[in-house]
A and B are shown apart, each in its own frame.
Chain A
Amino acid sequence: MMTIREKEQKIEELNLKISELKLIEENEGIDFQEQIEELNDKIKEIEDLIVKEMTPWDRVLTSREKKRPTALEYIQEIFEDFVELHGDRYFGDDKAIVGGIARIDDFKVTVIGEQKGMNTKDNIYRNFGMPAPEGYRKALRLMKQAEKFNRPIITFIDTPGAFCGVSAEERGQGEAIARNLMEMAGLKVPVISFIIGEGGSGGALAVAVSDKIYMLENSIYGVLSPEGFASILWKDGSRAQEAADVMKITAEDLADLKIIDGIIKEPVGGAHKDFKKVSTSVKEIILSELESLTKLNKSELVNKRYERFRAFGEFKIVE
């Protein structure tokens, strides 16, 4: 059996063959229509196989793929007039969270994103998308500002988790996340979130107490990374693949559990294979959700959000 990577390579080969044939067709005037159709069928077959055989672990790997589009790329593709705003006004400007104001069609919005690097150097600059307390405080400042000016909020989630380190403890990582959870619950403007890569635990939730939450097909969202889960419960971080199977971290699982509102399809291989298409889907969802959420009055909006999170939990009462 071919691995996903091998299948993807095979598809690339077949695509190359098709373009060669097309080139010959053009130059020599020979008709390869039949052969090209055959190759296309073959590609479709392999693609279907990839989708069918994709395991939760494959999705974990895809969610972390180096070429996966990051928050800023979505922001630049989807919005106009983006003005980035920096700093938490207390300590500093965290590079792992970006935010600002922008326009999408006729709506003026506040946009916030957890930002991974686009290459190795950038990743160090962005602390691999692991926000510090001042990042969450920046996000909260911008969300409160959005509320003041009655702007809806769009957040993009993509983090392995909140940064764990001495500085983060000193500056109250726990308090920063807790404060965001509490304050987001009361925001009087619509909040729409997209999990575009990794949704790592409290570090993701801290910008996702939202009215609507969508996930890209190959993104993940969980209480911890599969590696962390395996090392805590089984004392063996190398069993991450197994952990991914039991954790229910895929978009499909989370839609079943009603944690999220919808799944955005990705091209075979991941969002980076056809970013235009994926970002167009994201844009369409933003617009249609803004259309309906902005019709709710403020107390309806806040009550609905409360009910959403109030309902989470599974338990029973025994005698």
Chain B
Amino acid sequence: MPIGELFRKNYKYIELTKKNEAGKLEGEEKAVPSIPDDLLIKCPSCSEKLYKEALAENMYCCTACGHHFRINARERLQEIADEGSFEEIDRTMVSVNTLDYPEYEKKIASYQEKSGNYDGVVTGTCSIEGHKVVIGVMDSTFMMGSMGSVVGEKITRAIEMADAEKLPLVIFTASGGARMQEGIMSLMQMAKTSSALKRFSDNGGLYITVITDPTTGGVTASFAMLGDIIIGEKGALIGFAGKRVIEQTIKQKLPDEFQTVEFLLEHGFIDAIAPREELKELLARILSLHQEVQ
């Protein structure tokens, strides 16, 4: 498939959900409010009305207040990968209905049609300001980026590829957690990806995690938190348990900044935070600082 096709602008919808409404438990999906691309979009943070085209040009960040809209995997790759450098692997890997869960195939098919992807993560190789890396980008628009066998396998293969080819590994996380419809097999993906990262790490591989909105549940409790360097995209939600679950338990409303990358930075679990427009440059700088001198 020609690389250009991966970047076709055929994404009709963008997401308008506020980040703090996303604090839901693993695998949960929600109706995503969406607007056809020729209309104005209201910023959920400052209520400014924005043209979609202007928004896209500004990396889907509000031109008035800087609010970061969620973006899908293809849009992310367009921003991070050097033009034309991305080569996808395992594109057509699809899930199997492990639990014989009713209507699961149908549900997957509808997400495939909507997103143009086969599951919740896109993996491959690309260069970032000239530095070649193996990259994985999770897609929260595909069943909330939940991790089932396909996401786990594709991430694991990406890790193994980075290990075999001695390339740095960069993973952008965005996930509601484990994919419930795949039951225990989705839980096992946490152990599988973490095991592969152990080998990669022992062999000296560099793994950079970029936490994007939202990252929760089983992904937080596995490869999201295992980077040698963990970067948070400004304002992104990250947590283990769903915010609502905790609120219900303690019968108190939690502040907006609870379970954000800023919160985790404060508590010592994240190395650095960057706004979207600075992510590529930051990644490139870190990569260059790990480059072997010839």
Residues on A close to B: CB < 8 A?
162, 164-166, 168-175, 177-179, 181-183, 185-186, 201-202, 205-206, 209, 221-224, 228-229, 232-233, 246-249, 254, 257, 259, 305-306, 309-310, 312-319
Question: A133 CB to closest chain B CB, in angstroms?
Answer: 9
> For A178, what are the chain B residues with a Cβ–Cβ distance below 8 Å?
190, 194, 220-226
**B50 at interface (Cβ–Cβ under 8 A)?**
no
Contact B95 A315 (CB under 8 A): yes
For B199, give the chain A residue with the smallest CB separation.
A306
Interface of B is mostly: helix
Of all A-B residue pairs in the complex, the 6 with the closest CB atoms, nearest first, are: A164-B241, A174-B220, A181-B194, A312-B188, A313-B149, A185-B195
Contact B225 A313 (CB under 8 A): no
Would you mind naming 17 contact pairs between A and B with Cβ atoms under 8 Å apart? A165-B241, A175-B225, A175-B269, A177-B240, A181-B194, A181-B221, A182-B198, A223-B180, A224-B180, A248-B98, A248-B183, A259-B184, A309-B195, A314-B182, A315-B149, A317-B93, A318-B118
For chain B, residues 176 to 201, give those with C-beta under 8 angstroms from any C-beta of chain A: 178, 180-192, 194-199, 201
Q: Contacts A181-B191, A202-B218, A318-B92 known; A171 to B267 CB distance under 8 Å? A: yes
**B25 at interface (Cβ–Cβ under 8 A)?**
yes
Contact A185 B198 (CB under 8 A): yes
For chain B, residues 107 to 153, give those with C-beta under 8 angstroms from any C-beta of chain A: 118, 149-150, 152-153
Contact A248 B240 (CB under 8 A): no
Contact B221 A254 (CB under 8 A): no
**B64 at interface (Cβ–Cβ under 8 A)?**
no
> For B267, what are the chain A residues with a Cβ–Cβ distance below 8 Å?
170-172
Contact B25 A186 (CB under 8 A): no
Instruction: Produce 1/0 per residue, B76-105, CB < 8 A to A.
Output: 000000000000001011111011110000
Q: Contacts A178-B221, A178-B226, A224-B180 known; A183 to B198 CB distance under 8 Å? A: yes
Contact A319 B92 (CB under 8 A): yes
For A253, give the chain B residue with the smallest CB separation.
B184
> For B183, what are the chain A residues with a Cβ–Cβ distance below 8 Å?
222-223, 247-249
Contact B249 A164 (CB under 8 A): yes
**B15 at interface (Cβ–Cβ under 8 A)?**
no
A174–B239 alpha-carbon span in the complex (Å): 7
A227–B258 alpha-carbon span in the complex (Å): 26
Q: Which of B221, B222, B238 has the most CB of A within 10 A?
A: B221
A312–B269 alpha-carbon span in the complex (Å): 29
**B28 at interface (Cβ–Cβ under 8 A)?**
yes
Query: B225's contact among A172, A209, A306, A314, by CB below 8 Å, is which?
Result: A172
Q: Which of B94, B184, B201 has the most CB of A within 10 A?
A: B184
For B24, give the chain A residue with the smallest CB separation.
A232
